[in-house]
Amino acid sequence: MNSLASDSPIADIGYLSRSEHRIPMLVALTERPRSRSELCELTEMSSSTVRRTLSEFEDRAWVRKDGYKYVATRLGEAIATGMEDLIELFETERKLRDIWHWLPDEMVEVPIETWDETTVTLSEPDSPYRPVNRFKSLLRQTNEVRYLRPEVALMEPCFDVLLSLIDASVDITLVDRPRCHAYFITTYPERSLEMEKRDNFTVLEHDELPKCGIGLLETRVTISCYEQDSGSVQALIDTDVPAIREWAESTYASFETDARPVTPEAYME
């Protein structure tokens, strides 16, 4: 016990994290008393390893013996909860580190715990369309579409779904930059003219939009992160967190107010 007393808190954190079985074992013992054999089966560790770990837990007063079983003390419960929270925090951080530089300044102010309730889909070398396909699946489930910088919605995997929503009388409003409208309209002139005739489809343009796309679907908010040069979708974030929804609604409204209507004929002259 004296040797443990000289250790620092960091040393105890290191002790728990150096072996993958220690935290799950301590968490398991907060749920109910368990025997050594149960813990061996749960952690897939040898009997000698489990016995040694339990002895180390006992030295730290994290567990106590209850007959032939072991159970966490209140102190052990507190440590287990703290480690679970820490792991959850790092899981969230790992999910965000690759997209953090794309996010608007307002988004990085959102409490980090909020991001645990988001889904992040990253483009990968062997699966570059993962974010686009994720958006396609969300698009199929919505009865509302409002989007700033909607390039992801106009890509081939999503475009047919968008057309089907228009045919189903779903209200759709897209706000994009003039050069993006020019590209789409001149590349797909017949489709553009047909879509523009529909009362439930509105296209607006704005000269200065956020660097990310912001989509308001019926139950989800999406944030599409584009590669600056190519415009390819590098990541898609989607969530139903109220704080993010409130930010997205406010941001969308501020740009929609200043946006101007677009007609395909203007780019075909």
Q: Where are the domains of the chain?
A: 2-88, 98-268
Beta-bridge partners for 70 = 34, 65
What spatial distance separates the first Cα and last Cα of the chain, rounded to whole Å?
A: 85
Distance between CA atoms of residues 238 and 119, nearest Å: 5
**What is the homologous superfamily of the domain 98-268 according to CATH?**
Endonuclease Chain A (3.30.870.10)
Can you give the pTM of this predicted structure? 0.73
- The CA-based angle 237-258-191, given to 5 degrees, is 65
Sign of the dihedral defined by the CA atoms of residues 136, 134, 210, 253, in that order:
positive
Distance between CA atoms of residues 103 and 87, nearest Å: 23
Q: SS3 helix, strand, coil % of the chain, rounded to 5?
A: 55, 20, 25
Strands 34-35 and 118-122, by their bridges, are unpaired
CATH code of 2-88, in short, is 1.10.10.10
Burial class (CB in 10 A: 0-12, 13-18, 19+), 129: middle
DSSP 50-75: HHHHHHHHHHTTSEEEETTEEEE-HH
Which residue is it, tokens 């974030």? 237
CA 40 to chain centroid, in Å, comes to 34
| pLDDT confidence of residue 1 | 43
Nearest CA-CA partner of 95 in 114, 116, 68, 74: 116
| pLDDT confidence of residue 196 | 81
Q: What is the pLDDT along the chain (269 residues), one digit of tens a residue?
A: 444 444 788 888 999 999 999 999 999 999 999 999 999 999 999 999 999 999 999 999 999 999 999 999 999 999 999 999 999 888 888 878 878 887 777 777 777 777 778 898 998 888 889 999 999 999 999 999 999 999 998 888 898 899 899 999 999 999 998 888 777 788 878 887 888 888 999 989 999 988 899 999 999 999 999 887 677 889 999 999 898 999 999 999 999 999 998 876 666 65
| pLDDT confidence of residue 188 | 77
| pLDDT confidence of residue 93 | 84
| pLDDT confidence of residue 200 | 93
Sign of the dihedral defined by the CA atoms of residues 46, 48, 51, 57, in that order:
negative
